Amino acid sequence: MLSIGSQQSEGPVQSDSLIASPDQATDVVPLSVRRGRLTMGLLWLTMVTGFPSVLIGFDWFKSGLTLSQVVQNVIASCLILLLYSIPACYLGARSGQTFGLLSREVFGRWGSWFVSFNLVWISIGWYGLNAIFLAEGLIGLYHWQIPLALLAGSLAVAMAFNNFFGFTGIANFARYLAAPVLIIWVAYTFAKAAASCPQTVWLEPAHAMFPSPLTVVSSFVIGYGVWGNEADYWRYGRPRVWQSVIPLVVSLAIGELCFPVAGWMLAKTTGVTDYAAATALMNHYAFGGFTLIAAIVLSITYFAVNDSGLYGAINALENIRELPRRKVVTLLTASGALVAATLSFNGKAFELVTTVSSIVLPCATVVIMAEHFILRRAWGVDSNFSRVLSLAELPRLRAPALSAVLAGFLVGVCTSGLIDGLKVLHVGVCSLQAWIATLLVYIPLRSLERKQQLEQRRRFLEKLSDWGNEAALSAASVNKRC
């Protein structure tokens, strides 16, 4: 048995059975193949940094946010995100299990399938969206007369290549190519923008009062920076808290702070706020007008983030049904291409995907973390991560977990501003409110369930004791007659 708080062991027990499936999609990742914080940090950097991170700075300037408001609210949003991400990533590293496998014991068989299905469609939604972003960038650079849907769908197919090689493929691509390119790109753009932006921008009076700016900024920072299935990736990390904390903080500082601030500064110094014009500006500003270099950098960054998205969808689908990896990759790639072509006609696709993904999947992870890090510690119960429960061992459904996720989803969507009739409720940080609602529903319901389970066990033991006493009396009576 392994306890979350145990200091005697740093991870799951290793055995030959742990490496039975390719890429450990349905098993615990052994410590012998875990990666260090450098690899995990570089991978995570590619997952929270992209071209939208700099373009959102232009949008925030257009919305009237001052630079001091942008910095303050980005930091606040990152702190909120870290409150969720640190335990979520550590859970993956501590257990060595995928998001889907961790959901089995807490949600039950049908509940785990429900959670995994949500991960599949949300990941494929992001996959298609990133293919669209890359297609739009390339069309803007080269002025191709190609239908956006056709180019986005074609790029979605090409982006699947690294996933045929499992986690090793996406980790190596991130470490040796994508992350270094991103770091150079962000550092150069930020330094150049900071040098050209007047220092007086820090003294400009605010036009929008708190908490309205936090609502605007957090919707992007958390929506783009949260994944919900962090365990799928961090199960390859080493099971120490600081092995997760340092990479997370550095990645967010680069991708969610420096890049958006650089975008705001560029908008301030140039007056450009239009999306297409901002894309063209970045080509000339960061790449000196060298279109080929711009195209390569954009392609590398979007390929990297879609590597991770598709990888999560693969793990989720294999939790529902185990299939050969090549077939799974092919099926999901085709789905991603279809989604990319479809979403290219939806002008609000980005807002929809970011908002929903910051609510649905994280709420499920909040439930799993509450079970292992809060309730079981309070009950003095060990969490055994050394073995993956088979579907046959699970109850059909765990009502507390599913009820909590649905409650969190309801609160998050109602306060997100997605529904026009509920704009009056669009206040605060919708994702945070969804996570809190999930906790407030799950903890009492799960505690009640445990109380009922203990009571049933007590009654069962009493019956066993009564049967034993009756059997003993019967035996004594028979012996007396003899």
Alpha-carbon torsion angle 248, 91, 442, 110, nearest 10: 120
Handedness of CA 337, 338, 343, 344 (dihedral sign): positive
Predicted local confidence at residue 478, as pLDDT? 62
- Please list the ranges in the chain whose pLDDT falls under 70: 1-22, 208, 210, 468, 471-473, 475-482
Strand partners, 237: 35
What does the pLDDT read at residue 477? 67
CB 435 within 8 A of CB 363: yes
Distances (CA, A) of 445 to 102, 103, 222, 259, 438: 19, 17, 28, 42, 11
Residue 191 has a pLDDT of: 93
Residue 249 burial (C-beta neighbours within 10 Å; 0-12, 13-18, 19+): middle
Mind listing the domains of the chain with CATH numbers?
27-362 (1.20.1740.10)
pLDDT at residue number 407: 97
Return the pLDDT at 480: 62
Report pLDDT for 85: 97
Helix (H, G, I), strand (E, B) or coil at 35: strand
The model carries a pTM of 0.88
Give me the pLDDT at residue 79, please: 96
Q: Which two tokens stand for residue 156?
A: 């979605």
| Residue 23 Cα to chain centre, angstroms | 19
Q: What are phi and psi of 35, to 5 degrees?
A: -100, 160
* pLDDT, position 134: 94
Per-residue pLDDT, 130: 94
Closest CA to 221 of 78, 355, 123: 78
DSSP summary character for residue 420: G
- pLDDT at res. 482: 59
Per-residue pLDDT at 132: 94
**What's the rounded Cα separation, in Å, for the pair 2 and 107?**
20
